[in-house]
Structure 1
Amino acid sequence: MSWNIPETWQMVALADVCYRIVDGSHNPPAGQASGKPMLSAKNIQNGKIHFDELRLLSDEDFEVENKRTNISAGDVLLTIVGALGRTAVVPELHNEFTLQRSVAVLKPETINSNYLRYLLDSPIAQTFFLENAKGTAQKGIYLKALGAMPAPIAPLAEQTRIAQKLDELLAQVDTLKARIDAIPALLKRFRQSVLAAAVSGRLTEEWRKANSDRGSQYDDSNLPVGWSVVPMGRYAINYDGARRPISAKERESLKGEHPYFGATGQIDSIDGYTHEGEFVLVGEDGANLLTRAKPIAFIAQGKIWVNNHAHVIASPTGHSNSYLAFYLNTLDITPWVSGSAQPKLNQKNMNEIPVFVPPPEEQTEIVRRVEQLFAFVDQLEAKVASAKNRVDHLTQSILAKAFCGELVPQDPNDEPASKLLERITTAKLNKPQKSRKPRAPQSTRPSKKNNSMSKNRQDEDVLGKPYLAEHLRRLGSKATSEVLFKVADLPVTDFYKQLAWEVAQGLVVDLGETLEANNEA
């Protein structure tokens, strides 16, 4: 993928339009019970900065860590380790915070912060992050690679128009997403209400009126006339005796065409079967008996193998197994479930469950109506899934249009991006450089050791090399200049020349009181 931009735009490296790109702490201090927040990638979600599940630092630790990121309004945050590519802009009013290394801070030079944030959200940028991420257990993108990312820069006035239009359109997309995301829960509740109406007799009230001479629909206990209540043990036929569990290892040598069922459904296919016919399988144990993440009862047909984690029952001849499954899936079976760590519905307790039994012909009508309504819900769910898929791609489509100049019209009166970049370059050249030097060792007077150092700055492994950065890595943590000086084995003058060069090259990070190797360099 590559950028296709208008003539008034310019392509640059990302680092060219940021006066600083830095990541958070590589060695974060221990958390405290109270203090100032240090955030990580998990705190950057959906374009926002979230202040929950964070690490709190003491004032002293925060002051040290904050020198690295020095976060201010308008900075753009980008997750660069693990969860790549999530973004947020630091608002004008914000809580003081610092960051761990999983988040980079991009400090834009003159360009619109929201424009930059949306640019990083765009499909081409997100692809760049994935393609340039390094690592095995947890991938991350190095700051050098991030700074080299190609970035299309629009004229400044057009950046503002693009950012405002994206704010407007993506807010509408978010509203649409929220509405679509709410539909599955509504359809689930509709399914539950259909089942509740089915097993209480409300779903077939009109059918009973048309097929009965009785004037009253319900008896004194509010049970539909013609229905009865029978304990499961006296109503259903139990086939648990034929069940047979087989371990996963044994099943490897018995692969076949017949489904192998457990408590919540099919878990394998096997050569052989324990039952043949149509049955209602009811989960015997497991958390699903209480969580109801899946139906506790389901139909299994044909030649099947059932292990000892599901009861095998069937309705009497002429009655509907589907109705029995519907009924059990509407029922709160908690009173019949024993155990908490491992919930269990044993056969004795299951046999005590009362079953509302309609006449066989009404069971058939109930099943027909439920299946008809459920088929309608299935169609709606398929349409919702399709709509969700389209909306999920809509954001990326809008962002792609924005950064090829197709979202808002170009204005010939806009100052071209080339002029903007000239101003940015000039501003960078004129920006005062840090004059602070690392704190000197307590004694700068050369000692005998200094006069007889075995290294000097002209050595091949020192000059132009990350010599001091490598020493910091060997130390395994931040170090003061005194500590680094002692291990560097360089004369004082050479030590400070080399240190100044490595800091300027970004190989060593000067944190004020301490120094740290930049592992991204």
Structure 2
Amino acid sequence: MKDSNDQSISALPNVELPIGWSLTKINDIVDYDGLFKDGDWVESKDQDPNGNVRLIQLADIGDGFYRNKSDRFLTYDKAIELNCSFLESEDILIARMPDPLGRTCIFPGDPKPCVTAVDVCIVRTGKQGANHNWLMYIVNSPDFRTTIESLQSGSTRKRISRKNLSKIEFPLPPLPEQRRIVTKIEELFTQLDAGVSALEKSRAQLKRYRQSVLKAAVEGKLTEEWRRSHPDVEPASVLLERIEREREKSGRGRHKKLQPLDVSELPELPVEWEWTRLDFLAALKGGITKDSKRKSNNSRSIPYLRVANVQRGFLDLREIKEIEAPKSVISELLLEPGDILFTEGGDRDKLGRGWIWQGELPECIHQNHVFRARLYSNDVSNKFVSWFGNTYGQRYFMREGKQTTNLASINLTKLRGFPVSLPPKEEQKEIVSEIECRLSVADQTEANLEANLRRAARLRQSILKKAFRGELMPQDPSDEPASVLLERIRMERSQARPINNRGQARRGRGRPRKTAAVQTELI
């Protein structure tokens, strides 16, 4: 396992090593009975869902933890035919592709024999090699991770080669100190994990609180006391009559007669409220289609909203793309402040999610997977309608959506028929005020939670950084220096028989013998 590449890249340049530490590379800390190699090239045609060998993939590798997510298999005979390397418990798995690049975990073992994919690097330091957990923490440390990023290759799919991994030079503490460092890291991480768990629990409770506020609002429960103190408010039935007149007057309501709304299975509303259809309240419009994107002499580029931009209760405008469209199409699809947006496709539980365009850009249109609803009357709150769509509407859109193999969708007809509960004009204002007041408190609480979670992540990285630099634990002068460990590994490797891909000494020609784990599985 001699490193044929003499080039070294330090993960920690210009830092004085603690007493007893040595600079090394992954190749140098793998004993004769260990491995440092890529996983195996197992193609789809090689796999078998009924196979007795599990294929560990990139999805299984977390940043310091094993995810156990994949569900791919092959037969033992196929694994032998492909000369696969069988994993052992405590093997270190390094992801050679994002995200993040170079993330590393310990393989805990599996009831079935396992191999891994080619984009995963296996490190098995062996009986006399470096401590596995220590090496995992070092590879996941900020300095090592930064060095990995500097050695990545690929234009669209970034990766780190095993050859480049083998170039990275890092400090190696004495073996007893490695164990002490691991114990201290795990002690500190256990405390951090408890704090993070409490923060995430609070965040989940906050999410449920938001949902309960919105649900109570659109059902009229949030303003029960307000209604009792305002008995003479104009009922929603009068508001609907006024909207109908405004629809006809605006000209946007000139279409076929609206279908009556069947309210027999809809929840009962407060006395002053009314059920209505979305298309009675607003003019609906689909977005730019493939045909309408064709260039013409008067085409120009313009920003447009995609499904990814329209979230449930907010717009994510961090990445806005542009599209070439004729001026006539732009004029027709140009968003106006106050327009309510609904998503048309995606996962079934995300159908119909949306929020309000508030003129964040001077000009913007929307794609055909985002519907626009433009209210006929200013006496209807666009926020109330959007909140209603994001709460009660979830059940409606999931029920009425059409499911294909990989995608769910709703059409414009279903959106037009979406039942909306309509409170009186004055009560809408009160509802919006109540929601915004309560959600602003929730937003501030969530901001504090997120800040604490980021602080915990930084602290985790700080712990690893200190461990990497010898600052986490005091050195013990009685420890055998790391240089002695490295020399012993070098000598044992030079005297040992060659090792095959299953970490066994080769016994000459013929079929490799099965490991104990594999023999147990096949009995």
What TM-score comes out, normalization by structure 1 length?
0.67
Which residue pairs with 1:12 in the alignment?
24
Mark the CA change 1:318 to 1:85 in structure 2 (over 3 Å): closer, same or farther. Answer: closer
Mark the CA change 1:512 to 1:171 in structure 2 (over 3 Å): closer, same or farther. Answer: farther
**d(CA) in 2 for partners of 1:228, 1:40:** 55
Please, what is the CA RMSD of the aligned residues?
Answer: 4.4
Q: Name stretches of at least 5 consecutive residues in structure 2 with no aligned partner.
A: 1-10, 234-266, 501-505, 513-523
* Corresponding residue to 1:22 among 30, 33, 36: 36
Which residue pairs with 1:158 in the alignment?
177
Mark the CA change 1:296 to 1:102 in structure 2 (over 3 Å): closer, same or farther. Answer: closer
CA contact 1:82–1:102 (8 Å) conserved in 2: no
Confirm or deny that 1:405 pairs with 2:470: yes
**d(CA) in 1 for partners of 2:437, 2:90:** 56
1:155 Cα deviation after fit: 1.9
CA contact 1:44–1:87 (8 Å) conserved in 2: yes
* Corresponding residue to 2:54 among 30, 37, 43: 37
Which residue pairs with 2:441 in the alignment?
376
Deviation sequence 1:466-517 (CA, Å, 0-9, x none): xxxxxxxxxxxxxxxxxxxxxxxxxxxxxxxxxxxxxxxxxxx9995599xx
Number of residue equivalences: 428
Structure 1 residues 128-137 or 166-175, which shifts more? 128-137
**d(CA) in 2 for partners of 1:43, 1:242:** 40
1:152 Cα deviation after fit: 1.2
CA contact 1:122–1:400 (8 Å) conserved in 2: yes
**d(CA) in 2 for partners of 1:139, 1:242:** 37
Confirm or deny that 1:103 pairs with 2:148: no
**d(CA) in 2 for partners of 1:336, 1:25:** 44
Report the AA paired with residue 79 of structure 1: A
**d(CA) in 2 for partners of 1:312, 1:379:** 30
**d(CA) in 1 for partners of 2:458, 2:148:** 19
**d(CA) in 2 for partners of 1:415, 1:292:** 59
Deviation sequence 1:302-336 (CA, Å, 0-9, x none): 99877786353426454433333333433333499
**d(CA) in 1 for partners of 2:286, 2:488:** 83
CA contact 1:289–1:296 (8 Å) conserved in 2: no
1:163 Cα deviation after fit: 0.7
**Structure with more contact order per residue of length (Cα contacts < 8 Å, sep ≥ 6):** 2
Q: Percent identity?
A: 26
Counterparts of 1:96-495 in structure 2 under 5 Å?
96-108=113-125, 109-135=128-154, 138-212=157-231, 223-225=269-271, 227-232=272-277, 236=281, 238-239=282-283, 247-249=292-294, 253-255=299-301, 273=331, 279-281=338-340, 283=342, 286-287=344-345, 291-292=349-350, 295-296=353-354, 298=356, 310-314=371-375, 316=377, 318-332=379-393, 333-334=396-397, 337=400, 340=403, 343-346=409-412, 353-429=418-494, 431-434=495-498
1:127 Cα deviation after fit: 2.5
Mark the CA change 1:293 to 1:178 in structure 2 (over 3 Å): closer, same or farther. Answer: farther
What TM-score comes out, normalization by structure 2 length?
0.66
Which residue pairs with 1:62 in the alignment?
80
Q: Name stretches of at least 5 consecutive residues in structure 1 with no aligned partner.
A: 215-220, 437-508, 516-521
**d(CA) in 2 for partners of 1:383, 1:327:** 28
**d(CA) in 1 for partners of 2:67, 2:288:** 54
Q: Secondary structure at the match of 1:85?
A: coil
CA contact 1:48–1:88 (8 Å) conserved in 2: yes
1:197 Cα deviation after fit: 1.2
**d(CA) in 2 for partners of 1:335, 1:64:** 45
CA contact 2:53–2:112 (8 Å) conserved in 1: no
